[in-house]
Amino acid sequence: MNDVAHKITGAGQPDGIVACWSCNGPIAADALFCNTCWAVQPPRPMDHFARLGLDIRFAIDTAELDRRYFARQRQLHPDRFATRTPRERAISQNQAVCLNEAYEALKDPLSRATYLLKLRGIDTNPDGCNTIKDPTLLMEQMELREGLAAADTREAATQMLREAEAHVNQSLAHIGGAFAAGDLDTAGRETTRLKYLVKLVDEARTRRACFAPAAAAPAQS
């Protein structure tokens, strides 16, 4: 079963017809505006994917995510409602907040994986970011951090940064494959691993910045 086929219980894509708060006309539950009076509609409970009109899956087209987000942002930005009623201004603000939350959760692969797992009732690393119960993951992180601590030149720190980034790319591939196969256990373990790897990349960049770049060789006359 691929990740598109997973059905989420609870808040998903709202179905059915509801009444517009302004004119009581019938509108689709996921409509942004009433097609009778064109009043902006309040945000309704739905998952972040549905709010942006995307399938529930880890492998998303980020360019399409951006396109859908900015298109909705232009429609719902509070500045467009500056001359409307206080209620419409408040609704547009709530819509903008929900839209931003959805975009922030989905644009980053780590937060997207974490959110997908949360939708399925899985809390990655619930004991806190300083606890690693997986012995394989613990050993890997210890070795990587020992290597980073031993990096005493800019070149060594750069090499550790490249190694950490390669691990991140590998982890992302594993997460994508696990979600596509419906293997949530592996997706959960690998998402926990990715959290530590992303932190390692940041630390490697910080360590490299501690060393001055190599001086350029003097030009030959």
- pLDDT grade, residue 26 (50/70/90)? very high
Q: 101 and 30, same structural domain? A: yes
Q: 8 and 76, same structural domain? A: yes
Which residues contact residue 42 at a Cβ distance below 8 angstroms, ignoring those fewer than 6 apart?
Answer: 21, 91, 94, 95
Higher pLDDT pick, 171 / 217: 171
Residue 84 sits in a domain whose CATH number is: 1.10.287.110
Say whether pLDDT at 8 is over 90. Answer: no
Structure letter (DSSP) for residue 57: -
69, 92, 107: which is the final residue of a domain? 107
Residue 30: the pLDDT is 86
Say whether pLDDT at 58 is over 80. Answer: yes
Structure letter (DSSP) for residue 80: G
Say whether pLDDT at 89 is over 60. Answer: yes
Q: How many CB atoms lie within 10 A of CB 193?
A: 24
Q: 10 and 96, same structural domain? A: yes
Please indicate, yes or no, if residue 119 is contained in any of the structural domains. no
Residue 150 sits in a domain whose CATH number is: 1.20.1280.20
Share of the chain above pLDDT 70, in %: 86
Q: 158 and 63, same structural domain? A: no
Q: 76 and 150, same structural domain? A: no
Q: How many CB atoms lie within 10 A of CB 187?
A: 26
- Exposed, middle or buried by CB within 10 Å (0-12, 13-18, 19+), for 94? middle
Please indicate, yes or no, if residue 113 is contained in any of the structural domains. no
Say whether pLDDT at 135 is over 50. Answer: yes
C-alpha distances (whole Å) from 141 to each of 130, 145, 154, 169 are 12, 6, 21, 16
Q: Which of 73-77, 82-86, 132-136 has the lowest mean pLDDT?
A: 132-136
Q: 79 and 38, same structural domain? A: yes
Q: Which of 2-6, 15-19, 76-80 has the lowest mean pLDDT?
A: 2-6
Say whether pLDDT at 140 is over 90. Answer: yes
User: Tell me: the pLDDT tens digits for 104-118?
Assistant: 999 999 999 999 999
Q: 203 and 158, same structural domain? A: yes
Q: 173 and 78, same structural domain? A: no
Q: 40 and 77, same structural domain? A: yes
Say whether pLDDT at 131 is over 90. Answer: no
Please indicate, yes or no, if residue 216 is contained in any of the structural domains. no
pTM of the model: 0.82
Alpha helix ranges (H) inside the chain: 48-51, 62-76, 86-107, 109-119, 135-150, 154-181, 184-209
Question: What is the average per-residue pLDDT within 115-136?
Answer: 76
CA distance 89 to 79: 9
Q: 183 and 140, same structural domain? A: yes
User: Tell me: the pLDDT tens digits for 33-53?
Assistant: 999 999 999 999 999 999 999
Please indicate, yes or no, if residue 127 is contained in any of the structural domains. no
Number of domains in the chain: 2
91, 107, 123: which is the final residue of a domain? 107
Range of the domain at 193: 135-209
Q: 97 and 148, same structural domain? A: no
Q: 142 and 187, same structural domain? A: yes
3-state secondary structure of 18: strand
Please indicate, yes or no, if residue 126 is contained in any of the structural domains. no
